[in-house]
Structure 1
Amino acid sequence: MKHLKTNARKDLLARAYLDMLGHNAGPHARPLRGSEKRDPVEKAIDHLSGVSRTAVKGSIPPDVAAAAVLLARAVESVDSLARELRRGCPVVSITTHSAAVVPLVRGILKVCAFGKDASIRDEQHFEANCANPVLLVSRDGSGKQHRNENGNEAVAKALHALAPIVGIAPDPRRHLPRDLLRAAEHHLSLERLDASAISLVVEAVTGEAPTIAVDEQLVQVVDISDLALSIRPDRSADDCIRRMDAMVSNKTVLDYDGPSLEDLPGYGAARDWGLELVADLRAYRTGRLDWENIESSLLLFGPPGVGKTQYAMALAKSCNVPIVKTSVADWNSALYLSGTLAAIKDSFSKAKQLAPAVLFVDELDGISDRASIGGEYREYWTQILNLLLEQLSAVPPGVIVVCCTNFPERIDPAVRRAGRLDRTIEIPLPDAAALAKILRYYLGPNLLPGADLTHAALAAIGHTGADVETWVRRARSRARRAQRDLTIEDVVHEIRSGREALPDKLRRVCAVHESGHLIVGVALDVFEPQALSILDHGGTTRVDLSSANAQTEAGVENLITALLGGRAAEEILLGRAEATIGAGIGDDSDFARATGAALDLELGYGLGSLGVVHYAKNTREMFLHDPGVTSLVRKRLDRCHERARALIEKNRPAVEAVAARLQTTGYLDRSEIERLLLTQTVKPELHDEDQTED
């Protein structure tokens, strides 16, 4: 706690408003519980505690007091406006923090702003011929009638009657009558609560000024609704401040119980982007970097369960800033369009109040692409989209926007463009190495310490971090029911969910097959190998394709040859009779991809025997019935297959070494592959001009 500093602002109008509100409430004593019928126990309690029971006077509610202070400060910021509201005919709009504050401000204005003789009416009941008329329009955006085309007739009447006109709304441009805003001379906006405002509220409620203040960092996350939970008339002023300090420290926007970004595995480029932002934010806070030089908005996409929400929470923790969490579903939960628009603006406004802060918007695909919207809903969604574009284009310094979706293609391109969402990054399904780290994270340091989690991670390929969390929880429950310590077999059992492991014979085939892809690809410089895996359903080879060697006919044929390297390795090392059908199952199989590439050369790239032609993919079906075309494709595939066989024969020791290691471990990462290839030289393909005579 820090001692409260004297505020230079006198808050004379705020104190006057608070006095009027207190006088308007009237002195109504409220006895403490137990003071009316004082039985012997009550008397004993009073005697032991050394207190006498007295009545506690009622006071201004804390949220009303806070709204009064902020309203008075807004009015006081305009010279003579307090006088004009009582003696003149100003036209004023007031922007509130949220919809909940609108009725508070309305009530305060009615009591304090216009004088006791004013005839205050809303737009439905305004009468120009009454004494001292005042038009007071308050709209929170929750009703269908809260649109700017409604209420303009009443504004015209009030202007003619020279009546003061005041409109209150979270978003005046959308909620208040259009003519009120056009005629407005003053546009007020309630500022944020600060330490001096909170001190004044405490004084108004408890009758005494506090000697301590809430921590300045925590002041940023206090809103009016918090005050009713901590400021009460039966507490001392300093006790109210202490309770508020403790309560605000526990707000969800400052909940750092989860992992930081540094602790999370498997996020790839998104993690790198986040850590760079952490460093930039540190430089911004110390004045070494301007905000306009920081990339501060991100669209995350990926399948469900990969941890997009967890990423946003971890980013906020690493940045040491609060997070405002919302979603398109939250915005659309309002009954009317006006409520949805208000919810969108409230989200951005709250992030602005807390800045620096993270604004996390989930399910962004819920706001569709305008090109796909038709019929009666087009106008509805266009208004929502236009407001979102407006908010994204005007994000203030200190606000980090992170949006996520499972379907980025459904989002309007105007939302995704640079300047609104600076970067789009995919969070893919984690690979075996990432899954092993995720398993270790959820197991913690005390469960299965030192255990090799590779086998379990391989069984988990194709699943997400959310799945891993569930499996670990179930495995712990399984061991607990059996009244024994957790084992790695418990974890693998939950991952497989009854699915059998790959038989040893097929495991050998998979190891040979993936080794064939690797060696042929390396020999032809088709790719940079990343990992080889044997899974429960087969093997995989993960690579980074070389784009430099894939732009020519020879380069595409090299890719086809590498794709056929798996089958070639099975034939050479195991014999044709033992070769499996795995290379040809499914639309993403080795054979399907090789055949597609051969068709592209003949019919799409203008590099085949048919000459410089291009046929769209959706028109190629008819060519599959042309013996001439199918013969060209088959000859090219046969030629590439023979090249793959020749490379396997030439590099048989290397294929055998990689296959043996892969069969034993089930997984080879990039570093292990590089170590193996250092001991096993991969011989490249020799062309005629490279061969020398004996």
Structure 2
Amino acid sequence: MAEDIVTRCALPTNARVFGPQSNLQSPHRDGAALLVVRDGTSKDDRPEKGNQSVSSGLHLRLPIIGIAPDPARHLPQALLRTVEHKLTLPAFDESALTLVIEAVAGTTPTTHIDPDLVRLIELDDLPLAIRSYRTADQCIEALDEIVRRKGEHLGSGPSLEELEGYGKAKDWGLELARDLADLKAGRLVWEEVDHKGLLLSGPTGVGKTQFARALAKSARVPLVATSVAQWNAASYLSGTLQAIRNAFAQARRQAPCILFIDEIDGISDRAQLRGEYVEYWSQIVNLLLELLAGVDERSGVVVIAATNHPDRIDPAIKRAGRLDREIVIEKPGVQALARIFRYHLGAELLADTDLTQLAIASQGATGADIEAIVRRAKGAARRERRPLAISDLLGEIRSGQPSIPAEHRWRIAVHEVGHAVVARELQTGAILGLSIHDLGGTLHIENNIAGTATLARLKAEMAVLLAGRAAERLVLGEASIGSGMLPTSDLGRATGLACAIEARCGMGQFGSVYIEIANDFANIPGLLTAVRKQLHEAEERAADILIDRMATLRTVAAELERRGYLSGDEIERIIAVDDARAQAAAHMETAIPARQRSGKMS
């Protein structure tokens, strides 16, 4: 567009216009000019390209005009060194849009023009919306519709503030949204923005793409969404490379904006490349690294990439100045799941229903799973011409599977509360909650084991892990197999800690030694005996604690069995009430004999 305006308005009619690739070896008639137009999308849009044509044009006394969004990075260096006049076009704003509409439609708009809408307008959008047969306000409406299709943040969907279960990713995004607001307002420069690249990883369905959309909505900036699959849809390598350049170029044109790259693990790690595809993929990786590294060249462009397999990504992509922050989006916990259910149900449906039971039953689900569950349940109720019921949602969650029998719920409740009571007593981490669901039970706890853990800390952790077995033994007479069977089970993890104490941490009877343990550690003389001793002591320690807190164990387990979920605060309140009752009872037991003795003396 700028090239057309310069040709029509700045040069003589029928002037012969040459580009930087033209042959300028011989003089030309008056009216000729050299026009260098670059938008940064081509690999040749660099200062080191086109300098010979500029030199030739100067010797032939041709007027030379350069047009670029960022002249210092896009135009030939020779042109910048010899330039005599610089003209900076102001940004297209509300007043300019009003003048265009008035010139075409003949009237001035009366409706408010959103500044964010104007910022997304490209000149090519104007003739699509502004027509002489439309009123000024109708032109605004048409332009709004055209631009909204490009700027996803202006459309429907949740903002980042409304999303649940995103943890550190949400914190990062909200901080970025504030920075981008300051950037647009001129209170911050791009160099001061520290959130410029993010690698989002996590299992399928946790909402990585939704995160990018919601962030763009909260920050009120455009979202340019692409993927490695789209890049690789080109038939040839040149097409793939151009698709990558185009994605970054589009983002630069709409900056400040979010450039979201999905399936980034589709670009291979160069260290793992083999055979005939090495050169092909190396060029793709190298171009992506070049574009990511050019933070200054992509001013205002925040790059967020998503992957299900962070281990498959070339390490150079995650180096400083590129995607140097990695955040894993975990599956949401019980409280987050309840809020996700409420979001998808809306404020009216099941308004007075506690959705915790749905969250407990759907543990392990993702936000996408919850959306599908609610959609299917609504559909079932709609087809039967009746209101949505909680049973519809539970039916979709369980997919026809029966709920846990009552006798199993009690055992699970006793087991999980046993973990919580011992963890609370030994202070091994903050207890977030307890739950019973269709797959069993869960203690939600913030575990604080780290490289600074001592022998006492490891032994305390073993006691917590084996407290479920101890609780079952004390209350029900025997332990179930649920605490074992798998390496990730309570017994499996406790055994792993005991092995580490004895053979890898230098804290057991073998002394300061590291022993590499295969699957069958019993083949190492004396190790099995030492491990069994560690496990026995840990379980007995847990049992001793539970015997002293038996009333608490039973009270909390009964409440957990009834409700299915208890938050950490609710557990503390129940224990506080139970302790108060115990203290009152103890006070009465000591007070009665004293009064009796007083009566006898009188």
TM-superposed CA distance for 1:563, in Å, is 0.8
Instruction: Say whether the 8 Å CA contact 2:41–2:249 is kept in structure 1.
Output: no
Read off the aligned partner of 2:339 and give its amino acid letter.
K
Inter-CA distance 176–392: structure 2 relative to 1 (3 Å threshold): closer
Deviations 1:367-420 (A, max 9, x none): 666655673122331222121121378644xx7665544344555666556776
Inter-CA distance 381–360: structure 2 relative to 1 (3 Å threshold): closer
Aligned to 1:556: 458
CA distance in 1, matches of 2:190, 2:75: 33
Aligned to 2:524: 626
SS of residue in 2 equivalent to 1:387? helix
Aligned to 1:690: none
Read off the aligned partner of 1:657 and give its amino acid letter.
T
Matched, 1:540 2:432: no
Over the aligned positions, Cα root-mean-square deviation in angstroms equals 4.2
Inter-CA distance 608–221: structure 2 relative to 1 (3 Å threshold): same
SS of residue in 2 equivalent to 1:391? coil
SS of residue in 2 equivalent to 1:627? coil
TM superposition score normalised by structure 1: 0.70
Aligned to 1:664: 562
CA distance in 2, matches of 1:298, 1:151: 32
Aligned to 1:340: 244
TM-superposed CA distance for 1:153, in Å, is 6.6
Instruction: Say whether the 8 Å CA contact 2:224–2:250 is kept in structure 1.
Output: no
- Give 1:196-595 correspondences, 5 Å limit: 196-199=95-98, 201-202=100-101, 205=104, 210=108, 215=113, 217=115, 218-235=117-134, 240=139, 244=143, 252-255=151-154, 257-274=156-173, 296-297=195-196, 299=198, 300-319=200-219, 321-329=220-228, 335-352=239-256, 360-365=260-265, 375-376=278-279, 377-391=281-295, 395-396=299-300, 403-410=305-312, 416=318, 424-547=326-449, 551-576=453-478, 579-595=479-495
SS of residue in 1 equivalent to 2:120? coil
Deviations 1:95-120 (A, max 9, x none): xxxxxxxxxx2x44444444346433
Instruction: Say whether the 8 Å CA contact 1:141–1:338 is kept in structure 2.
Output: no
CA distance in 2, matches of 1:654, 1:211: 71
Aligned to 1:126: 23
CA distance in 1, matches of 2:71, 2:233: 21
Read off the aligned partner of 2:576 and give its amino acid letter.
L
SS of residue in 1 equivalent to 2:211? helix
Read off the aligned partner of 1:643 and give its amino acid letter.
R
Instruction: Say whether the 8 Å CA contact 2:205–2:369 is kept in structure 1.
Output: yes
TM-superposed CA distance for 1:543, in Å, is 0.8
Residue 536 of structure 2 is aligned with which of 638, 657, 673?
638
Deviations 1:24-79 (A, max 9, x none): xxxxxxxxxxxxxxxxxxxxxxxxxxxxxxxxxxxxxxxxxxx3xxx4xxxxxxxx
Deviates most, 305-314 or 463-472: 305-314
Aligned to 1:85: none
Aligned to 2:586: none
Inter-CA distance 623–200: structure 2 relative to 1 (3 Å threshold): same
Aligned to 2:496: 596
TM superposition score normalised by structure 2: 0.79
SS of residue in 1 equivalent to 2:205? coil
Inter-CA distance 307–236: structure 2 relative to 1 (3 Å threshold): closer
TM-superposed CA distance for 1:475, in Å, is 0.9
SS of residue in 2 equivalent to 1:220? helix
CA distance in 2, matches of 1:480, 1:216: 39
Read off the aligned partner of 2:360 and give its amino acid letter.
L
SS of residue in 1 equivalent to 2:91? coil
Deviations 1:569-607 (A, max 9, x none): 22222223xx22221122311122112111221222221
Identity %: 43
Point out the structure with max Rg over C-alpha.
Answer: 1
TM-superposed CA distance for 1:235, in Å, is 4.7
CA distance in 2, matches of 1:569, 1:596: 21
Aligned to 1:27: none
Matched, 1:648 2:546: yes
Deviates most, 605-614 or 619-628: 619-628
Instruction: Say whether the 8 Å CA contact 1:331–1:341 is kept in structure 2.
Output: no
Instruction: Say whether the 8 Å CA contact 1:147–1:338 is kept in structure 2.
Output: no
Deviates most, 645-654 or 328-337: 328-337
CA distance in 2, matches of 1:223, 1:143: 19
Instruction: Say whether the 8 Å CA contact 1:123–1:136 is kept in structure 2.
Output: yes
Instruction: Say whether the 8 Å CA contact 2:213–2:223 is kept in structure 1.
Output: no
CA distance in 1, matches of 2:514, 2:86: 62
Inter-CA distance 213–543: structure 2 relative to 1 (3 Å threshold): closer
Q: Give ranges in structure 2 of 5+ residues lacking alignment.
A: 583-602
